[in-house]
Structure 1
Amino acid sequence: MPLSSLIDDLFDDLSRPGMPWQIGSIAACMLVGWLVARLVRAWSSRRPGHEGSLHTGVASFTHVMAPLLVVGLLSLAQFLLAKYRFHTNIVKVAIPIFWSLGVIRLVFYLLRRVFARRGPLDESFVTLEKIVALVVWVAVVLYITGMWPDIFDFLDSYTLKYGPKKSSQVSLADLLQGIVTVAVLLMLALWAGTSLEERLMGMTALHSSLRAALARVSRAVLIVGAVLLSLNLVGIDLTVLSVFGGALGVGLGLGMQRIASNYVSGFIILLERSLSIGDMISVTNFTGKVTQINTRYTVLQGLDGVETVVPNEMLISGTVQNQSLSNRRVRASTKITVAYGSDLDVVMPLLIAQAVGTPRVLEEPAPGCSLSRFGPEGYELDLGFWIADPENGQGGVVSEINKKIYALVQSGDIKLAYPSVDTRLLDSHIASIVARITQPGADSGPVSN
């Protein structure tokens, strides 16, 4: 049996004088691989301009680099030991073990870079990683024990039919190889698309919409290329995709119009640059800052932190108010009613002075104050000013100016208007009632209202 022969070879190596060389070679390769990975991680952290996601990716990849370096060094050690007539059975067992560790860490690295960039990992993602690790370790055990060829022959002998012709059949081994090939190439394409998107988003010289469009197109091209390449490697004739294309066209015509419309609208938004990341927009009942422009939807973050997912079709077919399309300056205002009799030539410059110098208020255009109308209680004044960061809202700067105006009211420099009530009729009515009660011989009949 292969397992028994493997055990016999290992015990035979333990009794030979070359065993310490094998153990020492494995320990030295592990130490060198770990030290090199640590040095690369420290070097990447000290390099200027490599902070953020790129530095995080390099630091994470060093965990993959360590076992791969160990595998390379063990292969070199196996060659040297065999050259000097030493047995290498222990080294042969160690190489697939470190290979499996490198594969597991590589899969984890790719999965985390693609799917776990925007938040903490959930339980399902951790479960997926455990399943991948279990599959890899089982495959390594089968390989080391020599059982893998027998299992592969069994899978290759079991065929599945998928058509009326006799040639329309595929072995279970080919099917599993095809699934693994598609999964690996698709994962590599997603990782390459994610890395390219990070690099493009860091190029501040390009317009944000152009960067997003290039990132979306490059990811789509990589995914389609990976699928076509994997199907070709598996042996599937690409002409069968014509049938799939016809079915997809029927599906788009029957039930996927809105999805296709959202995708097309997303590319239109990115290419024509009607919206950019960071713009403050209002669409239907939603107002917020554009934080993401995806191919199917756009994410708006309101001033209260709530995020709204808006389908791209709404941004194309509906009316969108963009506060920073061609000019980021937005006018804000606060209203105040001063009492009649106030000297407007004094009050209005005083109000303008409160807006000047307030944080976020622009010097040009300068703040201004206007007389809106003559209200029932007093003069209604409008104090207007301009800000250049509408994504931060207007409430904070309006509050600061109102507090300055409140200080003027407290000091008596400005007199606010108060609602007035005409009490003359009520006062005369009460006076007549009191006179009738207090006069001698007054009528003691009922008092009418």
Structure 2
Amino acid sequence: MNQNPLTTLWVDFQTDLGIPDLRWQILAVVLCFALGWLLTRVVGGVLAARDAQKNIAAKPDAEQFARVLWPLLTLVLLGVANLVLAHWLSVDLMRVVLPLLASFVLVRLALYILRRVFARDGNDGSFILLFGRAFAGLVWTIVALHITGLLPDIAEFLDSTLIPLGRNKVSLLTMLQAILSVGVTLLLALWISALLEERLMKFGSMHSSMRAVLSRMSRAILVLIALLVSLSMVGIDLTVLSVFGGALGVGLGLGLQKLASSYVSGFVILLERSLSIGDTVTVDRFTGQVIQINTRYTVLRGGDGTDTVMPNEMLVSNVVQNVSLTDRLLLLTTKVTVDYRTDIDLALRLLEEAALNIARVRKGPDRTPKANMTAFGADGIDLQLGFWIADPENGRVGVLSDVNRAIWRSFQVHDINVPFPQREIRLIDEQYRAVKEHLNADARRSTPDSAP
């Protein structure tokens, strides 16, 4: 009687389970996976309890880190178990499980680093998803070739395949190693710089500009070190970069003056702290709140929600009006004209009381609203009200409108007249007769003769 393949496989599996070495290895694998999962839960609980004590909301990357921590801890436990069992048993099963689990850890770790660098808000973009799938496919393919024993033959084939580059020939394996080393080192450098930036932004005692410049400088230094290390790893002589450095310097001096000036100006702004995120500034014809300071440009957000990308060179070479550099208080004024029959003392008092009724107007003892009589105008008496606000980033038009409306309502209640311009034309008798004769003559010329 012929047995089906499933029955044959089950019989072979039962036969293999009878081998003591295999049973011990299976038991070690199961225990390591269970212990790794348990340790992950314990570490996650400790971190959650610490965040709860500090009233910190759960971070979006905490769950992603837990997805990396479980296979990583399991891999460490399996490595220890493999070292222990290798003294008494033949660990053939471990040699298969360890590469598979290591590749799984590598894929999840790469995705975690990509999200921390390029998607800090927790939303994965199409680039991250596509790169993650391609990287996972590459890793699993390499692991499959390693398990089947085909990887050394393929590596030897790639090493023997030479590609001409100028006067030299480079093997395909060397080129792939160079691309891989550059990509890995750059990704690690960006990840470390992102971690440093998060740490720096938590230092409340340090000025925001200093934190920003330290973050930008650390990223630039780490990327430079990553490039140098990756190139030296594949055997490229770094002295050849001196020619490239000289050419780059000439290019910056001739064709990239504006770009280089903006980069240098960015570091100057961050170091001298003339601008900070949240300041309300006016540069040329642009007014807005500073929402982002980069090494090349600064972003200003206007009151209408429009973002202006301004090169840092303009912020260094032009006059910058910063209303919140040393003091966030801002003086606003509004003017009004009243009738000559108005009680001026009453009108001035009503102006100050109207400003005090607005929530955004400062009511402190040092800078209270103040009304003054400025001039005797052609249509009435000119009055001016000055008041202070402590939040210029919220706009000026809104608070001016609220104050003017409060003044109008108060004047209507107290019957104070706000005159509009009036002009009178008076003609003396001689001028009146001349104008009348001129009009009559025009009328006679425009009337046709009635006689035939």
TM bin, normalised by shorter chain, reads: 0.7 to 0.9
Is 1:148 aligned to 2:151, yes or no? yes
Is 1:181 aligned to 2:181, yes or no? yes
Per-residue deviation, 1:50: 8.1
Q: State how 1:424-439 maps to structure 2 within 5 Å.
A: none
Task: Work out the CA distance in 2 between the residues paired with 1:256 and 1:121.
Answer: 35
Task: Work out the CA distance in 1 between the residues paired with 2:141 and 2:256.
Answer: 42
Q: State how 1:299-318 maps to structure 2 within 5 Å.
A: 299-318=299-318
RMSD of aligned alpha carbons: 2.9
Residue 131 of structure 2 corresponds to 128
Per-residue CA deviations over 1:350-379 (Å, capped at 9, x if unaligned) read 211222253232222121112233344433
Per-residue deviation, 1:332: 1.3
Residue 370 of structure 2 corresponds to 368
Question: Secondary structure of the equivalent of 2:17?
Answer: coil
Task: Work out the CA distance in 2 between the residues paired with 1:156 and 1:288.
Answer: 58
Gaps of 5+ in 2: 1-8, 428-442, 447-452
Residue 335 of structure 1 corresponds to 335
Residue 75 of structure 1 corresponds to 79
**TM-score of the superposition, structure 2-length normalised?**
0.83
Residue type at the aligned position of 1:124: F
Per-residue deviation, 1:266: 0.7
Per-residue deviation, 1:275: 1.3
Question: Secondary structure of the equivalent of 2:127?
Answer: helix
Residue pair 2:36, 2:71 contacting (<8 A) in 1 also? yes
Q: 1:29 aligns with which of 5, 27, 32?
A: 32
Residue 431 of structure 2 corresponds to none
Number of equivalences: 415
Residue pair 1:44, 1:59 contacting (<8 A) in 2 also? no
Task: Work out the CA distance in 1 between the residues paired with 2:315 and 2:413.
Answer: 50
Residue pair 1:178, 1:234 contacting (<8 A) in 2 also? yes
Residue 270 of structure 2 corresponds to 270
- Gap change, CA 1:21 and 1:424, over 3 Å in 2: farther
Q: 1:412 aligns with which of 411, 414, 435?
A: 414
Task: Work out the CA distance in 2 between the residues paired with 1:420 and 1:343.
Answer: 21
Question: Secondary structure of the equivalent of 2:332?
Answer: strand
Residue type at the aligned position of 1:232: S
Residue pair 2:354, 2:410 contacting (<8 A) in 1 also? no
Question: Secondary structure of the equivalent of 2:205?
Answer: coil
Residue type at the aligned position of 1:180: L
Question: Secondary structure of the equivalent of 2:183?
Answer: helix
- Gap change, CA 1:14 and 1:355, over 3 Å in 2: farther
Q: Percent identity?
A: 47
Per-residue CA deviations over 1:254-290 (Å, capped at 9, x if unaligned) read 4222221111111111112221121111122321111
Question: Secondary structure of the equivalent of 2:419?
Answer: coil
- Gap change, CA 1:382 and 1:28, over 3 Å in 2: farther
- Gap change, CA 1:138 and 1:355, over 3 Å in 2: same
Per-residue CA deviations over 1:74-123 (Å, capped at 9, x if unaligned) read 223334555553x6444433322221221111111111111222584432
Residue pair 2:279, 2:323 contacting (<8 A) in 1 also? yes
Residue pair 2:60, 2:122 contacting (<8 A) in 1 also? no
Per-residue CA deviations over 1:267-317 (Å, capped at 9, x if unaligned) read 111112221121111122321111221111111122233322111111122
Residue 391 of structure 1 corresponds to 393
Question: Secondary structure of the equivalent of 1:144?
Answer: helix
Per-residue deviation, 1:56: 4.3
Per-residue CA deviations over 1:187-233 (Å, capped at 9, x if unaligned) read 11111111111211221211221111111111111111111122222
Residue 285 of structure 1 corresponds to 285
Residue pair 1:68, 1:102 contacting (<8 A) in 2 also? yes
- Gap change, CA 1:34 and 1:403, over 3 Å in 2: farther
Is 1:66 aligned to 2:70, yes or no? yes
Residue type at the aligned position of 2:29: I
Q: 1:93 aligns with which of 92, 96, 115?
A: 96
Residue pair 1:262, 1:313 contacting (<8 A) in 2 also? yes
Task: Work out the CA distance in 2 between the residues paired with 1:266 and 1:27.
Answer: 56
Per-residue deviation, 1:24: 4.6
- Gap change, CA 1:411 and 1:376, over 3 Å in 2: same
Residue 197 of structure 1 corresponds to 197
Please say which of residues 400-409 and 312-321 is displaced more in the overlay. Answer: 400-409
Question: Secondary structure of the equivalent of 1:15?
Answer: helix
Residue pair 2:350, 2:407 contacting (<8 A) in 1 also? no
Question: Secondary structure of the equivalent of 1:169?
Answer: strand
Residue 15 of structure 1 corresponds to 16
Residue 429 of structure 1 corresponds to none
Residue pair 1:108, 1:129 contacting (<8 A) in 2 also? yes
Task: Work out the CA distance in 1 between the residues paired with 2:132 and 2:64.
Answer: 16
